[in-house]
Amino acid sequence: MFLKKEVADIFENEPYHQFATASNDGKPNICNIGAKFIRDDGKIVIVDNFMKKTIANLQKNSEIAILIRKEKESYQIKGTALYLTSGEEYDQAYKWMKAKGDKYPAKGAIIIAIHSVYNSMTGKNAGEKLQ
């Protein structure tokens, strides 16, 4: 699935978003993400530089949510994540991250297939599925 333009613009242009995962027994975790981009095939890539609980959760439960926002406009993206530490997809993410500086370890790449997008703004359309 490809994100609608207005959603993709916020994802790519705002510096940080919130990334939620859960353990197998339902314990939630949320972290900020800034090392992210959208691939040409529509999948989201998040580079793991310093994650611990997030990666532990992903290894047992691949369902994720991302909250993105710009001022009062916000959306929730839901999808399935795959964590990689080798291979062509990881190499692409590693090179992208290293181009931003050697201080980033780029330990892994989280590849997200988007399943749905929801309106996260207040008002009568709150919670509605957009795609």
| 1-20 pLDDT, tens digit each | 999 999 999 999 999 999 99
Nearest to 38 by CA among 101, 112, 95: 112
Give per-residue pLDDT as tens, 92-131: 999 999 999 999 999 999 999 999 999 999 999 999 999 9
Q: What is the pLDDT of residues 69-84, one digit of tens each?
A: 999 999 999 999 999 9
pTM: 0.95
- Check: CB of residue 78 under 8 Å from CB of residue 22: no
* CATH topology (fold) of 5-119: Pnp Oxidase; Chain A (2.30.110)
Using alpha carbons, select from 79, 58, 81 the residue that is nearest to residue 7.
79
Q: What is the pLDDT of residue 22?
A: 97
Quick check: 90 and 22 in contact, CB under 8 A? Answer: no
Model pLDDT, residue 36: 98
C-alpha span between 31 and 21 (Å, rounded):
9
Give the pLDDT score at 29. Answer: 97
Q: What is the pLDDT of residues 13-71, one digit of tens each?
A: 999 999 999 999 999 999 999 999 999 999 999 999 999 999 999 999 999 999 999 99
Going by C-alpha positions, the residue among 120, 65, 77, 67 that lies closest to residue 128 is 120
Q: Where are the domains of the chain?
A: 5-119
Q: What is the pLDDT of residues 83-101, one digit of tens each?
A: 999 999 999 999 999 999 9
Say if residues 80 and 112 touch (Cβ distance below 8 Å).
yes
**pLDDT for position 97:** 97
CA distance to 44, 47, 90, 103, per residue, from 95 (Å): 16, 10, 9, 13
Question: Taking the chain, what is the end-to-end CA distance rounded to the nearest angstrom?
Answer: 9
> Mean pLDDT in the chain?
97
Residue 72, both tokens: 């009062």
